[in-house]
Structure 1
Amino acid sequence: MSAEDSRHGPNVPVSMTRFDEVYTRPDPRSYFVALGPLGYQTPHHAQSVFRRLLPFAGASDDRKHPTDHETEAVVLDICCSYGINAALLNHHVTWEELHERYTSPSVARMTTEELVESDRRYYAARRREDAVCVVGLDIAAPALAYARAVGLLAAGFAENLETGAPSPALYRATRGVRLVTVTGGASFLSARTFKSLLAGRLDPPWVAAFVLRTGSYGAIAEGLGRFGLTTQEYTCRTYPQRRFTDADEQRGAVAAVHAAGNDPRGKETDGCFHTALHLSRPAAHAAAHPLRALLHDG
């Protein structure tokens, strides 16, 4: 679950601050230390959204209720890094609690091995009864290793589907995926990643992505459309991502938002990057079940 602005991609303004180094550490302490002061909060917003969408995700168009599912739900979190989305989805914890934990003096004194053991107990004690299987995909192997070690991910794969096909193991592990989640990688992903994952599947999963307003999601949406998924942008609100690191970053973001055809007033002009939720699902389901109804907004 990268911070969106940590790696360059075709839709990322060149003036954005990069945080590449926080994903190469053996545990998430540097991640929270670097992003916490900037008010990074996308996982907080995603926590409730994903939980609301998951019971419906992957249902056939003729199914009326989320309880019609016959198999255990599986979530694929793309750009999962340290498994923070899985932590929030499957445990009785909040983003604020995780930030407080990983920046506390007591945790700062731990070795990585001690933190892994502590985190195993921490998450096991807070596991939700409705927890689901989460598979992680990220190019950051150290972050994946941590998420696997503490039990946040059922499986993790350090593979780059922008440059190569998924391994047989990854393809098998994602066979039962109902919901694909992205909270911090859409800017450097393309339709190639999703094509590799969805090719040959009879019932493609839903895809829920929080996308920075500084770029376009159009190419990915078009690619998903070839698998029978229609993409809708949730227009009722946007979601603050983090504060800008400096005036240059803000100017670049405002210009990029204008170039993307969006209005930065009251959002990027007020000091924060904002994301928009894009949901891809079968057209019949999208027509029958408005997005705002799924999110309990109407």
Structure 2
Amino acid sequence: MAEPGSGSTEGAAGGKARFDDIYGRPDPRAYFTRLAPLEYEIPHHAQPVFRQVAAERTALDDARTPGPAVLDVCCSYGINAALLNHDVTLAEMYERYTSPGTRAMSTAELTASDKAFYAARRRPDAVPVFGLDVAAPAVRYALEVGLLDAAFSDDLERASPGPRLRRALAEVGLVTVTGGGSYITARTFTALLEGARRPVWVSAFVLRTVSYQPIARALAAHGLRTTVDASRTYPQRLFTDERERRYAITAVRALGRDPAGREESGRFHTLHYESRPETPGT
């Protein structure tokens, strides 16, 4: 989720700051410490949406069979999985991972603590969640502490899914995204849908600085119709500096959107796209 862990060192992609270094750590403390001052908040806004969509998608399947899995793309340390399946808020996660007590722990101690923390907060309506992110240390941690049921670091922008991911795709019924829209393309979604065996829905929060149309066209080629309420936006985070603000305003205007009250006010904003099969009931 969030800014995916691809790339090399921190830099800028088209004017947008990158935080690649925080995804290569063995645990999520650097992630939350770096993003806290920027008020990174999109997982908070996605939490109730993903819970609702996951429940709707699960209800379609025969109750006698295992329910469909959620695949969170660019999942990093499993933040969306934590918020989907556990009684925890993003604010509580920031407090947990930036507290002096947590900072003093070793990774092994934090891992053990997180296992107990999330197990105690597991919701009765929890659904299977798989995670996909090229940042292998991040997905390993999420898997180790029980946030993910399966974890994959396949780079679908560069290659086809490996054998493990291909097998897992047969179980996926919902794909979620909160931060990969700036980095992944239609290639990733095409690879995922080509491996699907169940009807797949896609629920994605994407920055207004990028066009979702190429991905929507790829989804349409697989029978999915994409809708968006362009009048409602969801704030992602503060800009790191004036350069990033100028980039965002320029990019939004280039797509025919109005940055007034949103990007001009100092934050990235996202749109929420829902893609579901054209055929009702699937």
TM exceeding 0.5: yes
Structure 2 counterpart SS, 1:54: helix
Which of 201, 204, 208 is the matching residue for 1:206? 201
The aligned residue for residue 227 of structure 1 is: 222
Paired residues of 1:77 and 1:180 also in contact (CA < 8 A)? yes
Q: How many positions carry a matched residue from both structures?
A: 278
Q: Distance in 2 between matches of 1:165 and 1:66?
A: 29
**Cα 1:135–1:201 shift into 2, 3 Å:** closer
Offset at 1:268? 0.5
The aligned residue for residue 149 of structure 1 is: 144
Q: Distance in 2 between matches of 1:126 and 1:240?
A: 27
Letter in 2 for 1:277: H
Offset at 1:235? 2.8
When the two chains are superposed, the root-mean-square deviation of aligned CA atoms in Å is: 2.1
CA deviations over 1:93-149 (Å, ceiling 9, x no partner): 000000000000000000001000000000000000000100011100000110011
**Cα 1:49–1:40 shift into 2, 3 Å:** same
The aligned residue for residue 186 of structure 2 is: 191
Name the stretch that deviates more: 196-205 or 17-26.
196-205
- List gaps (5 residues or longer) in structure 1: 59-64, 289-298
Paired residues of 1:4 and 1:183 also in contact (CA < 8 A)? no
Offset at 1:68? 5.6
**Cα 1:67–1:174 shift into 2, 3 Å:** closer
CA deviations over 1:253-292 (Å, ceiling 9, x no partner): 001000011111111111100000011111244xx9xxxx
Offset at 1:173? 1.3
Structure 2 counterpart SS, 1:214: coil
The aligned residue for residue 37 of structure 2 is: 37
Any runs of at least 4 consecutive aligned residues in structure 1 with deviations exceeding 3 A, and if so which?
Answer: 4-8, 65-71, 200-204
Name the stretch that deviates more: 220-229 or 275-284.
275-284
Paired residues of 1:204 and 1:227 also in contact (CA < 8 A)? no
Task: Calculate percent identity across the aligned residue pairs.
Answer: 54
The aligned residue for residue 99 of structure 1 is: 94
Offset at 1:168? 1.6
TM-score relative to the length of structure 2: 0.93
Q: Distance in 1 between matches of 2:152 and 2:197?
A: 23
Q: Is 1:84 paired with 2:79?
A: yes
**Cα 1:213–1:142 shift into 2, 3 Å:** same
Paired residues of 2:4 and 2:75 also in contact (CA < 8 A)? no
Letter in 1 for 2:50: F
Q: Is 1:111 paired with 2:101?
A: no
Offset at 1:161? 0.5
Q: Which has the higher contact order (CA 8 A, sep 6+)?
A: 1
Structure 2 counterpart SS, 1:263: coil
The aligned residue for residue 216 of structure 1 is: 211
Structure 2 counterpart SS, 1:230: strand
Q: Distance in 2 between matches of 1:222 and 1:29?
A: 37
The aligned residue for residue 2 of structure 1 is: 2
Offset at 1:234? 2.4
Letter in 2 for 1:44: H
Paired residues of 1:55 and 1:67 also in contact (CA < 8 A)? no
Q: Distance in 2 between matches of 1:248 and 1:5?
A: 22
CA deviations over 1:216-266 (Å, ceiling 9, x no partner): 011011001111001111234100000011111111100100001111111
CA deviations over 1:154-177 (Å, ceiling 9, x no partner): 110111011101012111112121
- List gaps (5 residues or longer) in structure 2: none
